[in-house]
Amino acid sequence: MKRTLLLVLALMLVAAPSFAQIPDTAYVGLYTDVDHTTWSATYSGVTTTVYMYIFWVPGPDGLQAAEWAISYPSNILQGTITKDADIASTLGTMQAGIAVSMYTCHAGGVWYWTHKVRLFLQDAEQSTIEIVANPTVIPPVYDYSACTLGYPRKPVKRATNLCMNWSCETATQSATWGAIKSLF
């Protein structure tokens, strides 16, 4: 009995890392908190300071570099930018198009923020900050380079925008299993 229990415990320890969910591709999202749980902010009656974190979730082949641009609405002013210490090089600016490379490969589906941007929300108008294609690249893209041989460029999926003065929750719709099966 003791051997069986020890064997089960050993198998659980070995198998635990395999339960981590690594997405099928990389994702990028804009968040207002370091825990990547909030993607909206509200004007408080005076110029409101908001921090925007640009978070990446590497796909199965890791994340070594990335390209994108940020589209700011007219009621947002960009302040200081703090980049993560693992950023090896940067070309361009957030608004004109930016490319960054990292010293190390980020892998395993672990959230990683590349930049923390201080923003100033000027009024109560509803607006959206978006990750858009880097216009300096032909054709314009937002993508990433994998950690595999040759660092191939791959498309990235956008997880969230940043919503100012409104809540842009991700859409969900409840349905029964029978309703879902009837679609096919």
3-class state of residue 181 by DSSP: helix
Please tell me the distance from the alpha carbon of residue 64 to that of residue 58, in angstroms, as a whole number. Answer: 9
Kindly indicate the confidence band of residue 2, based on its pLDDT and cuts at 50, 70 and 90. Answer: low
Looking at every residue in the chain, the average pLDDT score rounds to 85
Q: Residue 55 pairs with which residues in a beta bridge? A: 29, 113
Domain covering 28-159, topology? Immunoglobulin-like (2.60.40)
Does the structure show a pLDDT above 80 at 100?
yes
Residue 165: C-alpha distances to residues 14, 48, 71, 81 (Å):
47, 11, 17, 22
Does the structure show a pLDDT above 80 at 164?
yes
Contact at 8 Å (CB) between 113 and 159? no
Does the structure show a pLDDT above 50 at 78?
yes
Helices (H), the chain: 2-15, 177-181
Please tell me the distance from the alpha carbon of residue 45 to that of residue 141, in angstroms, as a whole number. Answer: 37
Residue 69: C-alpha distances to residues 97, 124, 150, 159, 162 (Å):
4, 24, 24, 15, 14
Does the structure show a pLDDT above 60 at 181?
no
SS3 helix, strand, coil % of the chain, rounded to 5? 10, 45, 45
| Domain extents in the chain | 28-159
Would you say the pTM of this structure is higher than 0.85?
no
